[in-house]
Amino acid sequence: MLKQKLMTPPADPEQPEVQEPTNRYESADFKFSGRIFVVGDSTVCEYDSNTQTSLNRYGWGMKLAQNFSSVTVTNLALSGRSSRSFLKEKNYQTLKSSIGKGDYLFIQFGHNDEKTDETKNPGVGTYPNLDWNTLDSSGKDAQGRYSYEYILTAYYINLAKNAGAQPVLVTPVTRRGSNGTANYKGHVDYQNSMKALGQNYNVPVIDMTALTTQLYTSLYNAGGANETAKMHCYTDSSHSTIDNTHLSNAGAQKIAQMIAEQTKVLGLQLSDRLK
| Cα–Cα dist 242/48, whole Å | 19
Q: Average per-residue pLDDT in the chain?
A: 91
pLDDT digits (tens, 9 = 90+) for 126-168: 999 999 999 999 999 999 999 999 999 999 999 999 999 999 9
Instruction: Supply the pLDDT for residue 23.
Output: 56
| Cα–Cα dist 172/183, whole Å | 11
pLDDT digits (tens, 9 = 90+) for 225-270: 999 999 999 999 999 999 999 999 999 999 999 999 999 999 999 9
| 203-241 CB burial, b ≥16 within 10 A, e <16 | bbbbbbbbbbbebbeebbeeeeeeebbebbbbbeeeeee
pLDDT digits (tens, 9 = 90+) for 86-99: 999 999 999 999 99
Rounded to whole angstroms, the maximal C-alpha distance in the chain is 73
Lowest mean pLDDT, pick from 26-35, 107-116, 182-191, 245-254: 182-191
| Cα–Cα dist 199/79, whole Å | 28
Q: Kindly list the structural domains of the chain, giving each domain's residue range(s) and its CATH number in brackets, ordered by start.
A: 35-273 (3.40.50.1110)
Mean pLDDT, range 12-33, rounded to an integer: 63
| pTM, 2 dp | 0.90
Instruction: Supply the pLDDT for residue 9.
Output: 34
- The percent of residues above 90 in pLDDT, for the chain, comes to 87
Closest by CA to 11, choosing from 3, 20, 2, is: 20
Q: If you count them, how many residues does the chain have?
A: 275
Instruction: Supply the pLDDT for residue 185.
Output: 81
| Cα–Cα dist 102/22, whole Å | 15
| Cα–Cα dist 71/2, whole Å | 31
Instruction: Supply the pLDDT for residue 94.
Output: 98
Cα-Cα-Cα-Cα dihedral of 87, 6, 127, 245, to 10°?
-70
- Which residues touch 216 (CB under 8 Å, ≥6 apart)? 174, 176, 181, 182, 228, 231
